[in-house]
Copies of this chain bind each other. A is one copy, B any other.
Amino acid sequence: MFATANQVNSVLIDSLIDRAISPAEVKKLSYSELTGLAKEIREEIVRNLNKTGGHLASNLGIVEITLALHYVFDSPADKILFDVGHQCYVHKMLTGRRDKFNTLRQYQGLSGFISPLESEHDAFLAGHSSTSVSLAVGMAIARDLLNQKHKVIALIGDGGLTGGMALEAINHLGHLGKDVLIILNDNEMSISENVGGFSQYMKRIKETYFYRDIKEKIHLIEDKLEHTALDADVRTMIELVKKEAKAKIETPGIVFEKLGVDYSGPIDGHDVEAVIKALNNIKDKNTPQLVHIITQKGKGYAPAEQDSIKYHGVSAHSLEPILTEPAKTSEAVPYKAQPAKATGKTYSEVFSQALIELAEVEPNMVVITPATAEGSGVVKFGKAYPDRFFDVAICEQHAVTMAAGMAKAGLKPVVSIYSTFLQRAMDQVIHDVAILKLPVIFGIDRAGLVEDGETHQGVFDIAYLRSIPNFTVLAPKDANELRNMLFSALKNADGPVAIRFPRSQAISAEFIESNKFTELDYQSWEIIGPNYLTENNTPHKIILAYGSMVDLAKQAREIIANNAQVNNANISLINARSTKSLDEKLLAQIFNLANAKIITLEEGCLTGGFGTAILEWASSQKISKPSKKQPEIFCLGVKDQFIEHGARNILLQNQGLDAKSIANFVQGLSV
């Protein structure tokens, strides 16, 4: 058992973090104490994450901003809305959850995201990006209509600001003129490096041609005027023009101010005093305000400062926790780095590697990602083929429609996207890709249960993609099948193809041979192991397993085989790799076995999913063959509920989708 944070810190002399673990206590500290507290918080974050894993760099970057927010405002009366919500660790530590950090992201432990189910200090839930300003606008409208008095604060990163809905919300906020404070936490990168004219603009603001040009000319005029007799009025006017130009043009403010949102900043986000003063300056204004704060991701932990992308999310026991600033007390606990767990290749890595290998044979292939280049592994493709790689920032809608444009114009676009984020582009998938039947390939990563919890579960994609005409919806049983699906779709697709795979190690990745691909008729299913489908009269159970469930079904079959007592029926196992379209030929053969039991398995929601596709097919058969007896169908999948965070194997088990539960269910069916 890991010592609690309290125990660890008890050796520190005059530990600020032990004194100030509530907003009320934070308010009592001096600026220098706050600076000291920031340091202690950083140390504790590094220590904790080395135990549990979690989002490191963004939380190290936001320490002073979080302290300043709790210093200046009064949570929970004032509503602090964390965009994305994975940079909420400091906030959680300050609002009563510090002693639970050793359970971070563990099953039934502290969530890695902001969540009002956990604390009244979490004003809303967030796991996806760019929602905070919309929420703030809604809450500010509510406050005013309900005659309440409090501040509504959206804390959003420059990455989140690239998301279309954040821009929609700022535009609307400017129109409404409501009392909303936006804190722009500008660390110059989202999950991957930030993309977009806006971001570049923020970076180059002080070196713009326009500003330099104006400035030079004003200097030149001044030079000339110096040798000219001028009265005081003129000199004053010139000074005013200069000041105005500087204030309005030098800073990024002009874009926001044009949209009706007052701008102040930029502020050094690691100078807690500066941040507090900036917030105090505008806290009593009742119009839309944006404070621009510059921070550094990974601040205070040297490896993360140098490579904040690598240290965006960290695994347990992967840190070398040597802080950049030397500890002031020699008693600081020396941390032991632990070796990272050896892991096999993930499906993300297999997919990314396949893209690189296929790049030469498919010269028109391009790869698009909405800010998940690292997580999905396609960053490697981007390094190998920068001209054919497009990280569009947190812009799923744009990503999909851009891909549609590319496909229409003759390219072969592959959109690498997480299942949960593809929800953002549902309309674009229908309206821009599917109607014209464009061959866009979707590599749907994190499809299935993920440890991040409710906001990130990739369980809806089968259901909603399956209802879209013209789509092919595939899931591979293992690493090689993923490679071959991608290869075959690039070669033959005449419409959109989705290939979904879970966030896990790839099955049989050890059998991958570089540059070897086999064409696959992916719309036909595969019988795995003995084929009993021709034995009409034997008691018979048929497992139709989709994607990640094939391997678990194999294990389940072995469990049953080893259990002689209940080994009462033949079990056929089908790798039903395409849920749209179905393999109707094989299904027809299966449906000839009227007394068989069919069990469908999927890592996705039962409502509308793969099992449902089989039910629908069976029902449609009734119309042409009304008197024909059909086998009974039993569907196993993710139940109709939002699934909490925790290790994927625990979540699968809770849903009855682990090998043992599947075995129990299958052998429990009487035939």
Chain A interface residues toward B at CB < 8 A: 79, 116-117, 123-128, 131, 134-139, 141-143, 145-146, 162-175, 195-201, 210, 213-214, 217-218, 220-221, 224-225, 228-231, 233-234, 237-238, 240-241, 244-245, 248, 252, 254-255, 257-261, 364, 366, 387-388, 390, 392-393, 395, 397-398, 401-411, 413, 420-421, 423-424, 426-428, 430-432, 434-436, 454-455, 460, 463-464, 466-470, 605-609, 611-613, 615-616, 618-620, 622-623, 626, 632-635, 640-642, 669-670
Contacts and interface: CB of A to CB of B under 8 A. Distances in A.
A349 to B, nearest CB: 26
B240 A217 contact: yes
A256 to B, nearest CB: 9
A612 B608 contact: yes
Contacts of A165: 164, 395, 397-398, 401, 428
A274 B215 CA distance: 34
A603 B39 CA distance: 61
Nearest to A247: B210
Contact of A145 (B388, B398, B430, B470): B388
14 contacts: A134-B401, A137-B402, A139-B408, A171-B199, A171-B393, A172-B196, A174-B196, A175-B200, A214-B241, A217-B241, A228-B230, A229-B229, A254-B258, A615-B615
Contacts of A420: 427
Contacts of A214: 241, 244-245
A172 B642 CA distance: 34
Contacts of A426: 423-424, 426-427, 464
Name which of A136, A252, A616, A633 has the most chain B CB atoms within 10 A of its CB: A616
Contact of A170 (B197, B404, B408): B197
Given A170-B197, A622-B634, A135 B401 contact: yes
Contacts of A128: 427, 431
Name which of A397, A622, A634 has the most chain B CB atoms within 10 A of its CB: A397
Kindly list the 4 A-B residue pairs having the minimum CB-CB distance in the complex, ordered from nearest: A174-B197, A164-B164, A138-B405, A142-B409
A325 B397 CA distance: 43
A516 to B, nearest CB: 27
A619 B633 contact: yes
Contact of A466 (B430, B454, B608): B608
B435 A454 contact: yes
A146 to B, nearest CB: 6
Contacts of A397: 134, 164-165, 168, 424
A155 to B, nearest CB: 14
A409 B172 contact: no
Nearest to A406: B138
B642 A434 contact: yes
Q: Is the interface of A mostly helix, strand, loop or mixed?
A: helix
Contacts of A231: 224
A388 B393 CA distance: 35
B612 A258 contact: no
Contacts of A428: 131, 165
Given A165-B428, A196-B172, A634-B623, A141 B411 contact: yes
Contacts of A238: 221
Contact of A146 (B124, B221, B409): B409
Contact of A197 (B199, B260, B405): B260
Contact of A260 (B169, B200, B431): B200
Nearest to A460: B467
A141 B392 CA distance: 13
A217 to B, nearest CB: 5
Contacts of A640: 469
Contacts of A125: 431-432, 435-436
A647 B257 CA distance: 47
Nearest to A127: B431
Contact of A616 (B79, B175, B259, B615): B615
Contacts of A623: 634
A145 B366 contact: yes
A231 to B, nearest CB: 7
